[in-house]
Structure 1
Amino acid sequence: MSDFLLTQVINYGTPLIGLILFLGALGLPIGASVVVIAAGAFGQQGILDIPSAAILGLVGALLGDSLSFSMGYYAKDSVQKRFGQSPAWRSARASFQKRAGLAVFLTRWLITAMAIPTNLIAGSSGYKYTRFIAYDAAGEILWIGLYGGLGYLFGAQWELVYDFMSNFGGLILGLMVFGFGIRQAWSWQEKKKSLSK
Structure 2
Amino acid sequence: MTDTLLAMVPHYGAWIVLVATFFSCLALPMPSSLIMLAAGAFAAAGELSLMASVGAAWGGAVVGDQTGYAIGAKGGAPLVQRLKRRKKAAETILRAEAMLHRRGVSTVFLTRWLFSPLGPYVNFVGGATDLPWRHFTIGSISGETVWVTLYVGLGFAFAGQIAEVAQIASNVAGFLAAGAMAVWLGWLIFHRRVHPHHGGTRR
Bigger shift: 31-40 or 169-178? 169-178
- Per-residue displacement from partner, 1:78-137 (whole Å, max 9, x unpaired)? 37999xxxxxxxxx9797355111111111111211111211221122111122112101
Distance 1:145 1:184 in 2: 30
Instruction: Tell me if the contact between 1:73 and 1:126 (Cα under 8 Å) persists in the aligned partners.
Output: no
- 1:122-137 matches, within 5 Å, as 122-137=126-141
Deviation at 1:173, TM superposition (A): 3.5
Q: Compare the two structures and name the one with the higher helix fraction.
A: 1
In 1, Cα distance between equivalents of 2:80 and 2:43 = 47
Cα distance in 1 between the residues matched to 2:81 and 2:158: 51
Q: Counterpart of 1:5 in 2: which secondary structure?
A: helix
Cα distance in 2 for partners of 1:43, 1:120 equals 33
SS for the counterpart of 2:104 is helix
Q: Which residue of 1 aligns with 2:63?
A: 63
Pair 18,183 (structure 1): closer, same or farther in 2 beyond 3 Å:
same
Instruction: Look up the equivalent residue of 1:19 and give its one-letter code.
Output: V
Match of 1:99 in 2: 103
Taking structure 2 as the reference length, the TM-score comes to 0.77
For residue 15 of structure 1, what is the aligned residue in structure 2? Answer: 15
Equivalenced residues, count: 181
* Corresponding letter in the other structure for 1:108: R
Q: Shift in Å at residue 154 of structure 1?
A: 0.6
Unmatched segments (≥5 aa) in structure 1: 83-91, 192-197
Task: State yes or no: 1:138 paired with 2:156.
Answer: no
Q: Is the 8 A contact 1:76 1:126 kept in 2?
A: no
Deviation at 1:67, TM superposition (A): 1.1
Is the Cα contact below 8 Å between 1:23 and 1:64 reproduced in 2?
Answer: yes
* TM-score normalised over the length of structure 1: 0.79
Q: Which residue of 2 aligns with 1:195?
A: none
Among 117, 129, 136, the alignment partner of 1:113 is 117
> RMSD over aligned Cα, in angstroms?
2.9
Quote the residue 2:174 is aligned against. Answer: 170
2:164 aligned residue: 160
- Amino acid of the residue matched to residue 100 of structure 1? G
Where structure 2 has 5 or more consecutive residues not aligned to the other structure, the ranges are 83-95, 197-203
Kindly, what percent of the aligned residue pairs are identical?
A: 29
